[in-house]
């Protein structure tokens, strides 16, 4: 009998607390490499899609 296992790894890199922290946050999680304007726009669009900034900061506090 061959038994398979699976696992899920969840990681939290934090979240910006305001719109003006979006670029510094994104740069930080990219190990200091600034994202392109298109990448920042895409990230901002993903935050807008969930209703604004992520609730992660409040949840983890």
Distance CA 32, CA 41 (A): 18
- Is 29 a domain residue? yes
The model's pLDDT over 2-25, given as tens digits with 9 standing for 90+, comes to 789 999 998 777 888 888 999 999
| Helices H / strands E in the chain, number of each | 3, 0
Number of domains in the chain: 1
Give the range of the structural domain holding residue 31, as residue numbers without chain letter: 19-60
Per-residue tokens: 31: 């190990």
Percentage of the chain exceeding pLDDT 90 = 52
Percentage of the chain exceeding pLDDT 70 = 98
DSSP structural state of residue 19: G
Task: Please compute the mean of the pLDDT values over residues 19-43 and round it to a whole number.
Answer: 94
Looking at residue 7, its pLDDT comes to 93
- Is 3 a domain residue? no
Q: How sure is the predictor about 1, in pLDDT bands with cuts at 50, 70 and 90?
A: low
- Is 24 a domain residue? yes
């Amino acid at each position: 009998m061959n038994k398979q296992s699976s696992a899920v790894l969840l990681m939290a890199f934090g979240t910006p607390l305001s719109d003006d922290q979006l670029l510094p946050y994104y740069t930080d999680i990219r190990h200091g490499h600034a994202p392109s304007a298109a990448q920042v726009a895409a990230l901002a669009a993903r935050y807008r899609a969930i209703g604004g900034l992520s609730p992660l900061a409040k949840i983890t506090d």
